[in-house]
Amino acid sequence: MEKDILAKILMLRQNLHEHAEASEKETETQAILKSFLRRHTDLQIMEKGPYFYAVHKEGENLPNIAFRADMDAVVGPDGKPRHMCGHDGHSANLCALALLLQGQKVGKNVYLLFQHAEETGQGAKVCREFLAPNHIDEIYGFHNIPDYPAGQILILPEISNCASTGITIDFTGKPSHAAYPELGLNPVFTIAELVKQIPSLLDPNQYQGLVLCTIVSCRVGDSAFGVSPAKGQLLLTVRAKFEEDLEKLKTQMEEFIKEKAVAAGLQWQISYQESFPETRNHLACNEKLKQICQKENLPYQELAEPFRWSEDYGYYTKEVPGCFFGIGDGKGYPQIHTENYCFPDEILPTAAAIFLALAKA
Ligand SMILES: [Zn+2]
Ligand SMILES: [Zn+2]
């Protein structure tokens, strides 16, 4: 990458980093990106409210290829958004592609999609609406991956990221004086039964692939020693390699909860939050990526197992061919979603080169 382009992109990445915004709140981020694109390129910018895309148009009846970057930050335990997932790097990289496309003919129309709200699983679900009207033929995106050699391309398996969902289970019984617990209905016993049942619900014999459940919060009653509580809440995150397995686990869990709540005389409510699909890669697109690595002499590795963490990118590849790949951050690099994480700028030239090569392929 030319020094001048790299300097611009590094400054842009830093600027995005300093203006990290939570999912659905990416207004400043959008403004920075659009002003960068307007100043340095003649791409057509299509405003879509929470997200936008920029188009490098070469003509009618040409193939249409899309590249996706997400632009939201992770909200830390202190409630402040920080780019702990590296989406500042994804957006800056897409702008690098925009600069590299300036004045070039690649024989395709190239769509650069700047997606909001990846962290909550809400963004791609909305942005996929842009695929059909623009006749997008294929779509590509990448994620920075800690603990792999810096700049190494990671070609991910057919399922690259697990499906997952948050589950909130609320129980309501009846309060009573702590001296007369038999007059009330305390949901804690039903919650305990459910927690104890989790290992059987996860029995690997009933599933095709990996299935996991993590208890993220459990609350019953308040700090009131005189009261036997009426309300209890359990929060879980469940994930599975295959969406089908995740649905099976959810159904079994719902049935168990219903049975136990009815038996205990409790009211119950189950709701789902932050749901992500499985991310499924098209093997022909993976193959294209591999050939580019070989041709451009870029180091690559093919991974056999999916990442456990979810990506809403999977919504795109349900509709059009595409793939999601990784680029190593460096051995021993901090994990994503941890406080010390910062997108490694040294992988930007590789990321941009791959995108440009895919656009030309
Ligand atoms: Zn993330
Ligand atoms: Zn991410």
pLDDT in tens, 77-126: 899 999 999 999 999 999 999 999 999 999 999 999 999 999 999 999 99
In tens, the pLDDT along 154-185 reads 999 999 999 999 999 999 999 999 999 999 99
Is the Cβ–Cβ distance between 292 and 298 less than 8 Å?
yes
Domain 163-276 has CATH 3.30.70.360: yes
Distance 279 CA to ligand 1 centre (A): 14
Return the structure tokens found at 10. 């590094």
> What are the CA-CA distances from residue 289 to residues 227, 282, 361 (Å)?
62, 11, 9
Cα–Cα nearest to 109, from 90, 91, 134, 129: 134
Mean pLDDT, the chain, as a whole number? 97
Determine the distance separating the centroid of ligand 2 and the alpha carbon of 86, expressed in angstroms.
6
Of 360, 339, 353, give the one whose Cα is nearest residue 73. Answer: 339
* Token output for 219: 């609350």
Report pLDDT digits (tens) over 192-211: 999 999 999 999 999 999 99
**Ligand with the closest atom to the CA of 91:** 2
Residues with CB under 5 A from ligand 2 (ion): 85
* Burial (CB count <10 Å: 0-12, 13-18, 19+), residue 349: middle
Query: For the chain, which residues make up each domain, given as ranges?
Result: 3-160+280-360, 163-276
Q: How far is the CA of 236 from the centre of ligand 1 (A)?
A: 18
CA distance 228 to 174: 8
CA of 33 to the centre of ligand 1 (A): 20
CA angle 309, 240, 72 (to 5 degrees): 30
Closest ligand (CA of 313) = 2
Q: Which residues surround ligand 1, an ion (CB under 5 A)?
A: 85
What whole-number distance in Å separates Cα of residue 31 and Cα of residue 115? 13
Superfamily of 3-160+280-360 according to CATH? Zn peptidases (3.40.630.10)
